Structure 1
């Protein structure tokens, strides 16, 4: 045990103050800062010209034009309608060219079945209208068209109700002991909890990024020691098992230091005034955060880390050149990517069969079970069963990785085949 702590201390001292570690941490912290402040940074550049001015040419539909202006004023979007009375085509084109307006709308007569129909609306401009703004204009015109069609058959109150959004809610049904379905009291709560989503999303990213960074650090350090022949000196003073587990624990501590630094950067950015205003708009309630979600998430993270870390250490031990390392760890990278993507792409379907099945597969348990806990449904025994399976997997792969590591650190030259590794492993007992 003493040798393990010696390796931990040595690995931390050699890695913590290296330029590569400090630069990586600083760059990632800068990226976190930029991402969290990106909306504010963008607003600094387009704050003055945020609104788009669109001309509205007067026509034989004054009522529709007036309603269109009022609708856009109430909508408070990025479009400002500028009325043009008795405008000529030359005058409109001149204003577009000089940038006074980006384009103009024209209402033209349309007929349907011999009767006058809602006018055809055409947008004239040098550039295509933004897709989002085009959708806003279409939405407003759709409402006005509905009002125009039913104006003689509905009262003012009925027309007002027609413009109001539809009230839609969800309630869960739960089977009782007798097998009858009844409304679940918990179903009255909103199906989507923003607080749980934020925590789950953050833990998913935390798991993937830390596995990628620390796992590759473990594998690269072992390979570098082998390629420089330092391993031959280390092996005489510290056992291979103490080296492997010491490096894994050291990189875990190093990863935690990085995570704490990123959390501190994130908290500082969240406390900035412009981000505080944005958070108020999200309507997040800290009191609704489930502490068990964080506790369960950290348990899954720790066990998942050690499972992947042992694999990275064992693969790094059988590679003699750093040039071959990327290709060697590719299968493990694919596993972690699959776990991450299953979690990310199943956010909207946390109770799907894919998520339920993969929550009991050790390599995917940290993300799939986390998703079920945070956003889906699960039984307490399902969580603890997945933890038992994950723990057993850590022990099994840890034992296997220890045998591979003990054998691989002294195998030089070309990367050995699995048959050669297996043959060499039989000579050692753990």
Structure 2
């Protein structure tokens, strides 16, 4: 046990100091930080003044035009960022209007004809580039629609009634079951949006961590074997202590990397310009299912050890680092399948494929994570999946131990399955 602890400590300290670990972790943190701050960066490059200037248009109409006054009154009630301002001019040739357009103070202007008994006359929008911003278009459409309704209604309706008449109609949705009856909110129990975000983030992080640390273990074992250092190491510690020491040591590396990434997310969310990012995307951390994080950690740990032991066994039978990529290719492909099944099923976590995959040891860590986060899964199903995964770890751990103990001393070309089986029979675990 003391020797294994020494190996764990040596592996952890040695890998933490490597440039590959530092650079990879730094790149991940930078990419994550840039991604979370993209909206703010866009505002910075566009200019804060432009982003907060609001809507500023002008109306060219005869003096006392009621439609122009109604649009101006509507603008005073706009509560969006920057608000809305409507200037009034009697002629498109007004020098003040041209100056405002040239200096970019106006988004453009609309021209109204003479008042009509049938509501608004034809309206034309003019701008320096001939285009209309989406925000300006929405403002003008709503404002002119309300003005048109008020012109037609005259004094028969109050401004409040006009506003209510033009307010968008709210449509609610209800789910129905196969027998045609409505499903209640309690029965539907749809997972909140925050769970989808957390599940997606955990899928990405767990897959990358397991694959990176698995390849790290295989490369570590193969490099020691190819440089003949392994022959010296086995005289001071048993092959089993070496294997489990490396697996646990690099597991701590993976946990450290996940902690750094989680810390980077927390720091970015605490930045002043990101204070409202959760609100803007309708995300409420209070709705987060805490069980998702607990089960996610358990599934990550079990999934890691399953793949790590297999990577260690494969690395032990490869004598040259040049052959390692080809040797681990099947496990890499299996890892991609494990990742893509829940990734492409995140919108519907209760498909037969996901349910079956949640009981297969190699695919269950991520598939069961998906079902727990955004699917419908019973507690006994989680226990069965975890039990199968745990038993598989013991089985593959026993098998990996036998392969590792014999493989580290087999040099030359990669041994065949028959040769490995013959060598394994000589050792008992």
Using structure 1 for the length normalisation, give the TM-score: 0.76
In structure 2, what is the Cα distance between the partners aligned to 1:376 and 1:303?
21
How far is the alpha carbon of 1:18 from its aligned partner? Answer: 3.2
Name the structure 2 match of 1:228: 227
Which residue of structure 2 aligns with residue 358 of structure 1? 357
Instruction: State the SS of the aligned residue for 1:214.
Output: helix
Q: Which residue of 2 aligns with 1:48?
A: 49
Structure 1 stretches lacking a partner, 5+ long: 110-114
Instruction: Indicate the larger mover: 149-158 or 273-282.
Output: 149-158
Q: Is the deviation greater in 23-32 or in 67-76?
A: 67-76
| Counterpart mapping for 1:306-345 below 5 A | 306-345=305-344
Q: In the superposition, relative to structure 1, how do residues 346 and 19 fare at CA in structure 2: closer, same or farther (>3 Å)?
A: same
Aligned to 1:160: 163
Deviations, residues 198-256 of structure 1 (Å, cap 9, x unaligned): 44344323312321331222122122212322123223443333322221111111211
Q: Secondary structure of the residue that 1:167 maps to in structure 2?
A: coil
Structure 1 residues 185 and 243: CA distance shift in structure 2, 3 A: same
SS in 2 for 1:351: coil
1:15 alignment partner in structure 2: 15
Question: Which deviates further from its counterpart, 363-372 or 262-271?
Answer: 262-271
- Distance in 2 between the 1:75 and 1:216 partners? 55
Structure 2 distance, partners of 1:18, 1:288, is 40
Question: Comparing 164-173 with 116-125, which one deviates more in the overlay?
Answer: 116-125
Identify the match of residue 426 of structure 1 among 396, 403, 422: 422
CA gap 1:52/1:236 in 2 versus in 1, 3 angstroms: same
Match of 2:348 in 1: 349
TM value normalised by structure 2: 0.76
Q: Distance in 2 between matches of 1:56 and 1:385?
A: 68
Structure 2 distance, partners of 1:281, 1:249, is 41
Whole-angstrom distance in 2 between the partners of 1:78 and 1:345 = 40
Aligned to 1:186: 186
| Change in 2 beyond 3 A, CA 1:119/1:335 | farther
Structure 1 position 205 matched with structure 2 position 204: yes
Aligned to 1:58: 60
Deviation at 1:407, TM superposition (A): 4.4
Q: Tell me what 2:4 maps to.
A: 4
How many residues are aligned here? Answer: 413
Say whether the 8 Å CA contact 1:218–1:312 is kept in structure 2. yes
Which structure has more strand as a fraction of its residues? 1
Q: Give yes or no for contact 1:171–1:188 (8 Å, CA) kept in 2.
A: no
Unaligned residue ranges in structure 2 (runs of 5+): none
RMSD of aligned Cα (Å): 4.2
In the TM superposition, what is the alpha-carbon distance from 1:126 to its structure 2 partner?
4.3
Aligned partners of 2:68 and 2:398: how far apart in 1? 77
Q: Distance in 1 between matches of 2:291 and 2:141?
A: 47
